[in-house]
Amino acid sequence: MFYYVLKYVLLGPLLRLVFRPRIEGLEHVPSSGAAIVAGNHLSFSDHFLMPAVLKRRITFLAKAEYFTGPGIKGRLTAHFFRSAGQIPVDRSGKEAGQAAIREGLGVLSKDELLGIYPEGTRSHDGRLYKGKVGVAVMALKAGVPVIPCAMIGTFEAQPPGKVIPNIHPVVIRFGKPLDFSRYAGMENEKAILRAVTDEIMYAILSLSEQEYVDEYAAVVKAQQAEENAAKERRFPRMPLS
């Protein structure tokens, strides 16, 4: 119930007022039945903007850190994310991917919409990164279409580290559903999963017109963090007098 209060009364109207999103291709999202909406991920605000413009409820897989904060603030934050249609997924350890797939398939089994960011994390520089194959596993196991989605302008509106968004035009663009029924029963074949994932990422790229990087975003982030740490060790900042 609170999901719809948040969507239609509290957060949704505010997001529409601030971002004034232009919606394209909404007719490609099915009015009923299970489907995966796979999008690029540029900003924290993506979690709320897409649900605000869809007519149907959509459930996202979100990192568990949003649900495990300490104290009253942590509990309120966790309640807010659950109410907004987010499911916590632990992204650490060997079983993380399987846990996400189980949660996603559970949503799809109820004939609902599942939202997923195949990159696995937010883009730190506005580029589109290589997709992880979990989206392909779920699409093939559940036998559901994948609707590609591009968020455009949300990186400029709320780049990493910015709490209060800028006022910036946003476009949310949905593409035609992708049908992978030709690969039914092949969800355990690595080459098929990679091909399906790449097709999904290409569809997102065509909608978003981002620069594409054929590497995982998390790997690039880690490499850059290590490089920055190494520079800091070589050239430590002098304290201000």
Residue boundaries of the structural domains of the chain = 2-214
Has residue 12 got a pLDDT over 70?
Answer: no
Residue keyed to tokens 């109207």? 13
Cα 81 off chain centre by: 14
Structure-token pair, residue 39: 């999008």
Average pLDDT over residues 48-57: 86
- Distance in angstroms (rounded) separating the CA atoms of residues 227 and 221: 10
Has residue 10 got a pLDDT over 60?
Answer: no
**Looking at residue 4, what is its pLDDT?**
59
**Looking at residue 74, what is its pLDDT?**
66
- Taken in order 30, 32, 38, 43, the sign of the CA dihedral is positive
At residue 21 the predicted structure's pLDDT band, cuts being 50, 70 and 90, is: confident
Q: Which CATH superfamily is domain 2-214 in?
A: Glycerol-3-phosphate (1)-acyltransferase (3.40.1130.10)
pTM: 0.85
Among 47-56, 160-169, 219-228, the minimum mean pLDDT is found in: 160-169
Q: What are phi and psi of 35, to 5 degrees?
A: -160, 155
**Looking at residue 87, what is its pLDDT?**
75
State the Cα torsion 179-184-187-192 to the nearest 10°.
Answer: -60
3-class DSSP string for the chain: CHHHHHHHHHHHHHHHHHHCCEEECHHHCCCCCCEEEEECCCCCCHHHHHHHHCCCCEEEEEEHHHHCCCHHHHHHHHHHHHHCCEEEECCCCCCHHHHHHHHHHHHHCCCCEEEECCCCCCCCCCCEECCCCHHHHHHHHHCCCEEEEEEECHHHHCCCCCCCCCCCCCEEEECCCECCHHHCCCCCCHHHHHHHHHHHHHHHHHHHCCCEECCCHHHHHHHHHHHHHHHHHHCCCCCCC
Contacts of 45 (CB under 8 A, 6+ apart): 15, 19, 154, 157, 158, 165
Has residue 37 got a pLDDT over 60?
Answer: yes
Angle between helices 134-142 and 190-208 (to 10 degrees): 110
Q: Are 96 and 90 in contact (CB under 8 A)?
A: yes
At residue 47 the predicted structure's pLDDT band, cuts being 50, 70 and 90, is: confident
Has residue 238 got a pLDDT over 70?
Answer: no
Mean pLDDT of the chain: 85
- List, for residues 71-121, the tens digit of each pLDDT value: 776 666 666 666 666 777 766 655 667 888 998 999 999 999 999 999 988
- Residue 14: C-alpha distances to residues 10, 20, 166, 181, 204 (Å): 7, 9, 14, 39, 27
Q: Which comes out higher in pLDDT, residue 235 or 205?
A: 205
**Looking at residue 163, what is its pLDDT?**
75
**Looking at residue 227, what is its pLDDT?**
79
**Looking at residue 73, what is its pLDDT?**
64
Has residue 126 got a pLDDT over 60?
Answer: yes
Structure-token pair, residue 147: 């609707």
